[in-house]
Amino acid sequence: MASRKKKAEAVKPKNTTADAYIAGAGTIVDESVTETLKSNFMPYAMSVIVSRALPEIDGFKPSHRKLLYTMYNMKLLEGPTIKSANIVGRTMQLNPHGDAAIYETMVRLSEGNGALLHPFITSKGSFGKAYSKDMKCAAARYTEAKLAPIAAELFSDITKDTVDFVDNYDATMKEPVLFPVTFPTVLVNYNIGITPGMTSTICSFNLKEVCETTIAYIKDNDINVADTLLAPDFPIGGELLYNREQMERIYDTGRGSFKVRGTYTYDKSNNCIDIDSIPPTTTVEAIIEKVIELVKAKKITEINDIRDETDLSGMKITIDLKRGTDPEKLMSKLYKMTPLMDSFACNFNILIASTPRVMGVKEIISEWVAFRSECIRRRVYFQLSAAEDKLHLLKGLQKILLDIDKAIKIVRETEEEKEVVPNLMIGFGIDEIQAEYVAEIKLRHLNREYIINRLEDIEKLQSTIEEMQSILDSKAKIKRIIVDELTEVIKKYGVDRKTAIVAATDDDLTDTAEAVDDSPVTFFFTRDGYFKKITPQSLRMSGEQKLKEGDKIIQTVEAANDYDLLFFTTASQVYKSRAADFADGKASVLGDFVAGKLGYDEGESSLYMVPTKDYSGFMLFVFDNGRIAKVPLSSYETKTNRKKLIKAYCDKYKLHSVFHFSEDRDIILKSTSGKMLIVNTGSIPLKASKENGGIAVMTQKKGQRIHSVKTYTAGKLENEYRYRTKNLPAAGSLPPAGKAVQTKIEL
């Protein structure tokens, strides 16, 4: 185990006093890397996850919440806009991370930036545009802002003890832990977060659809979310290529991807195409740069010019066409070869009680309903306590009003002011709080009208208290309140979808038709999951392969740059990529860490690489218990550009080895018992189901398992017939006693 060492030994520094010397400072400490990570890195990682990067059930990260709460305290729900710099400065009382980070948060939450479907900040001035990397926002001293009307839904109950408050970083102020939001903001606005070891990407949905889906869920927990929550919706518009099965998978698991493409109109008089919306994952500049690159490479020849004509009326990319160009065919090519059509990857990772959880839409709604129910319960209890306190005062007043002359007499005959309250308590049998209330009544209120009104207030309060108590005792009434609130939100803020839903065709879902260089290359794949792609020329000039300490090359394949790459992992998944997506490497570099480049799940690592061009041959999965599954490689071929396939092999049994063969051949299995068995893969049935458990090939007694699996060439073993069998499963045979088995079997 690698370890680190601290300074040689404790030495008292020169020219220092005895008090300045710290006992034990500089002492040698041997500490494992894992312990260092636990003590140093893990606290940092958890701080980022819990306190910075991931949204919570109210839909906000801490930075969002601190900014919006500051604006609420500044009374910015009403009145005119004020300078953004003023807001940023005040927010630093809650957020100590600097004015630049606070202003960036404000920009993203503003309507001027256009990043959110329902912005919470009304802006004035240049706040940049989410769809452009060149259109930057103006400095905070030049722009103005205030809270948008919809922000009122975040704070309507915040003063009624609906959520907990905690100290800010220097304990000089209080701030809310969550906002008591009246609708599921976590699903309404796009949110992304990156933390050490995990990410979160939540796409935005139409507010009306989200509220209607939540209402439907409250009424019936067994609803199909896809019936009311049609598809994600983005502020920039565009078209979503809809596949019901794909969308339901995202709704169920919280993970998956779908395609979004830009929209355009054809101006026949000027023979040009005007693109007026693009996917949320790209920018105007990225699209223009890619089109120019394709034109220069002569992969697209129908374009005369392309330019950005975005103005105050909105985004627009104009493409001038050559005479005779079919605009529909050109756009079909641009969709496949540029970011004009892109995949949006979802990962609904949300903090629930300070714990990150990847949840489906129904589970998110369930958690939000539980959260909102608790907010309403706390609000009603707060109101109930206030009503009971008021009733208590009025009941004391009622006793006084029954004999007002007696009360006046007590006050008049009391010699000292401090004795008024005790004398009223004794005279009418009321407590100190009631007596204080009575003693403060003005003389002008001692009339018939005032007395009658106060008695009526008692009756109303008693009725109100009974109603509030019934709400606290009834989950159905609380849910009815939530439904009423959601219905009101729909009336106030519901708008039509901005992103159109179009049926996805096979042609839409096929991979990019961009030509790929097919020059020869050699692939190197290491045990620790590093990949290198080296050209023949570079390989001839190379020296020894550089590897991570303790790592070794387990696969070397001569192929071409246009091959597909399949990486099988320890989590029963396969990640697909193209060799062209990896840069040409050299022997002197470590190469690409595949888990990082392809975005493996946490704790997942690489097992085996399969380069292929035509998906021929088959995969062989050998399990510890002696079972072997045989799956055609074509089962992993897809028309879509899906980068990850789940359930790539059976996870019911522990996997020992993975192989890809182009044709049937012999393999030799060795058990921990010492027995060996030669099997031809042709005797193992081929099954199209990727997660089939295969068949029993080599029987294992209790406590035994497969020790090694290698390919076998006839003649490598003496008396090899001893290790062959006509029927499966078989136990295999031990080598002859007293003879060492010599073999040159290669992996």
205 closest CA partner among 167, 172, 234, 245 = 234
Cβ neighbours of residue 705 closer than 8 Å, sequence gap 6 or more: 624, 625, 626, 656, 671, 672
Fill in the amino acid letter for 83.
Answer: K
327 closest CA partner among 388, 265, 280, 375 = 265
Q: Which residues, listed in sequence order, are joined to residue 657 by a DSSP beta bridge?
A: 622
Rounded Cα distance, 174 and 177, in Å: 10
Rounding to the nearest 10 degrees, give the CA dihedral for residues 699, 700, 706, 709: -20
Pairing state between β 564-569 and 606-612: antiparallel
> What is the Rg, in whole angstroms, of the alpha carbon atoms belonging to the chain?
36
Q: Is 242 a residue of the active site?
A: no
The answer to whether 257 and 345 have CB atoms below 8 angstroms apart is yes
240 closest CA partner among 269, 262, 217 = 262
Grouping H, G, I as helix, E, B as strand and the rest as coil, residue 598 is helix
517 closest CA partner among 541, 499, 494, 533 = 533
Rounded Cα distance, 210 and 188, in Å: 7
Cβ neighbours of residue 690 closer than 8 Å, sequence gap 6 or more: 631, 635, 636, 645, 647, 648, 649
656: tokens are 């020992």
183: tokens are 């609708």
Q: Active-site residue among 44, 72, 103, 142? A: 142
- Strand residue runs (E) in 93-148: 121-124, 144-147
Distances (CA, A) of 572 to 278, 609, 694, 709: 35, 14, 15, 19
The HSE-up count of residue 136 (CA atoms within 13 Å, CB side) is 6
Helical packing angle, 420-428 and 404-413, nearest 10°: 140
609 closest CA partner among 585, 582, 640, 641 = 582
Grouping H, G, I as helix, E, B as strand and the rest as coil, residue 57 is coil
Active site members: 142
